[in-house]
Amino acid sequence: MIEPLIKVNDLSFEYKLNNKTSIPVLKGVSFDIFPGEYVAIVGHNGSGKSTLSKHLNGILKPSSGDVLVSGSNTKELQMLREIRQKVGMVFQHPDNQIVATIVEDDVAFGLENIEIPAATMKDRIDYALEAVGMSEFRQRPPHHLSGGQKQRVAIAGIIAMKPDCLVLDEATSMLDTYGRRDILNVVRELNDDGMTIVSVTHHMSEVAEASRVIVIEQGQIVMDGSPREIFQQYERMQQLKLDIPVASRLARLIHEYDEEFQSDLIRNNEIIQEVVRLSAKRGVFVG
């Protein structure tokens, strides 16, 4: 049997305001993430999804319950270093995780910490900057880069360390569509090469790329399934203050006028394939 890479077991977490009051954020969450999975975690602002993702490499510790990474408990202090090497995390605001004054030094920072030999280091930096499309900026100071460019540098810093699992906590929310697509392509390639991906996001077209979606509401898992299953439940998603991809909306609209048009499509290219399929079937003249 395959062991889960990350095991979340009855995880609860509360923020303590003072001795008397605490705000419960997560309430008994359990799930497993297996090697090679691509999991999207969605939920509206304040649902607890960011808090959840910060438990995956021990940035936050459970108030009760456990999080295990390859069997190591995030509560065990001496395991943290190993856990964080396995599970790398990229956040929403790159400013908070860029440390060096030159782009390539920033990417090197994490590598130096884990004592990568200098010879390998250059290759790793080349690979990481190339992967995020920032090679030509390697000598530039990060603070003069735009928000999207900084985020790409931050992602390069993590993937240079080649973790088993990459956690993206709304990491593309400050990027433009092309920037996001670049990152998504990088993430897809990393996943194809076997890296486990956990992506916390509000972009439903991004969710459509995942193999599995976990929906969080008020600190609990309310849905867990494939993107296609989840996005068929439009009304439920709206109740949860969430959306479905533009492609899904479009498919539903077209289906209303044309019953033969599949209504359960979730990606742009599926819409195009469906148009091609139907026009061939109906013998509609093209071109």
Partner 1 sequence: MSESAILEVNNLYHTYMEKTPLEYKALAGINLQVKKGECVAVIGHTGSGKSTLIQHFNGLMRPQRGEVLVDGQNLSDPKLDVKALRRKVGLVFQNPEDQIFEKLIGDDIAYGPLKMGLPLKEVRDRVKWAMELVGLSFEELKDRVTYALSGGQKRKVALAGVLALKPEILVLDEPTAGLDPFSRQELLDRIALLNKQEKMTVIFVSHNMEEVAYLAQRIYVLADGKNLIDGTPREIFGNTEILRRHHIAAPQTVEILAHLKQRGYSVDLKAFERESAAKEIVSILQPFRR
Please select the residue that binds partner 1; options are 32, 174, 225, 262, rule is CB under 8 A.
174
The dihedral of CA 40, 165, 3, 49: what is its sign? negative
Tokens read off for 196:
């486990």
Q: What is the separation of C-alpha 111 from the centre of its chain, rounded to a whole number of angstroms?
A: 22
Choices 30-38, 66-74, 156-164, 265-273; region in contact with partner 1 by CB under 8 A? 265-273
209 is an interface residue for partner 1 by CB under 8 A: no
Helix (H, G, I), strand (E, B) or coil at 49: helix
Helix ranges restricted to H, the chain: 49-53, 80-86, 103-113, 118-131, 147-159, 177-192, 204-207, 227-231, 234-239, 246-257, 268-282
- In the complex with partner 1, the residue whose CB is nearer, 5 or 89, is 89
Q: Are 52 and 224 in contact (CB under 8 A)?
A: no
Please select the residue that binds partner 1; options are 99, 178, 226, 229, rule is CB under 8 A.
178
Residue 199, number of CB atoms within 10 A of its CB: 28
Within the chain, how many helices (H) and strands (E) appear?
Answer: 11, 10
User: Which residues, listed in sequence order, are joined to residue 35 by a DSSP beta bridge?
Assistant: none
Binders in 75-114 for partner 1, by CB under 8 A: 92-93
Please select the residue that binds partner 1; options are 59, 147, 164, 218, rule is CB under 8 A.
147
- In the complex with partner 1, the residue whose CB is nearer, 118 or 284, is 284
Please select the residue that binds partner 1; options are 163, 179, 219, 227, rule is CB under 8 A.
179
Binders in 7-66 for partner 1, by CB under 8 A: 17, 23, 43-46
Contacts with partner 1, residue ranges (CB under 8 A) = 17, 23, 43-46, 92-93, 140-141, 144-149, 170, 173-179, 181, 202, 204-205, 241-243, 245-247, 249-250, 253-254, 257-258, 261, 268-269, 271-272, 275-276, 278-279, 282-287
